[in-house]
Amino acid sequence: MTNLSILPGKDRVGKAECFDEIRLERGNLYSIVGSTGSGKSRLIKDIEQLVDGDSITGRRILLDGQPVGKERRNRLSNSLIAHLGQNMKFVLDISIEQFIGQHASARGLPTHVRDSLAERVIATANRITQEPIFAELQLSALSGGQSRALMASDIAHICDSPVVLIDEIENAGIDKHEALQALVGTEKLVLLVTHDPHTALMAGMRIVLDHGGIVRTVERDEQEQRLFLELETNYRNQTTLQQRLRRGEHLA
């Protein structure tokens, strides 16, 4: 699979969405924005369920230009689409190393790559979260931020699902930039719901929703690119202060 298309449906009052096709490519990040209740999560669900005119919105999702028949839908959704949720907590009583090993073997990866894989997954997760994780740590002992970092890294390195859907990543105790970089860097198509300008501008294009319908797409231009760099500097400063606050330091 190299691309995914959204074909128009209707908004909440039954008005047709005004676009022909929105085509999303692998290796790119797209953000989804709009006010509360505007239909962002519904759009994510349409994509996750590979709808074909049969959800409340009437949208259709095509893979490489083709609709996905009902009989293949569940299987394709499971193998192609990963969903990174907001409240992620592991309940399994196994170590991180065992988890990675089991997941890699379930995905059919040979033994000789599994050891180096565990190292890579943990290294990436540690760039995403500030609370370090290590191979022997039990999954059930991970904090929310550590869990999400491990999950993002796991999706980047082990899942072969090309599409990743993320509903609101902020306030989760993880480095958004590192997490998204890890996913996009492994040629995933990443769709991200956000209310945060800095996060939204990480994407080259954003999809705007209102009253349940897609009302426009906005390409990030040069001015917004410059604004993004400013916001990035602020974000880094904020993150540094957060770390120092956690360590109990004087901040001024």
Residues that bind ligand ATP (CB under 6 A): 10-12, 34, 36-42, 56-57, 212-213
Coil/strand/helix, residue 91? coil
Whose Cβ is closer to ligand ATP: residue 43's or residue 122's? 43
- Write the CA distances from 215 to 10, 38, 79, 143, 231, integer angstroms: 11, 10, 30, 38, 26
155-241-185 Cα angle (round to 5): 25
**Binds Mg ion by CB under 5 A, chosen from 3, 5, 28, 41:** 41
In whole angstroms, the minimum distance from the beta carbon of 170 to ligand ATP comes to 12
Indicate the residue among 109 and 208 with the shorter CB distance to ligand ATP: 208
Which residue, 56 or 205, is less far from ligand ATP as judged by CB? 56
Residue (42 or 157) nearer to ligand ATP, CB: 42
What is the C-alpha to C-alpha distance for residues 91 and 99, in angstroms, rounded to an integer? 12
Using CA atoms, how far apart are residues 164 and 29, in angstroms rounded to an integer?
A: 9
d(CA 203, CA 166): 13
Residue number with the shortest CB distance to ligand ATP? 212
- Least CB distance from residue 168 to Mg ion, whole Å? 7
Contact footprint for Mg ion (CB under 5 A): 41
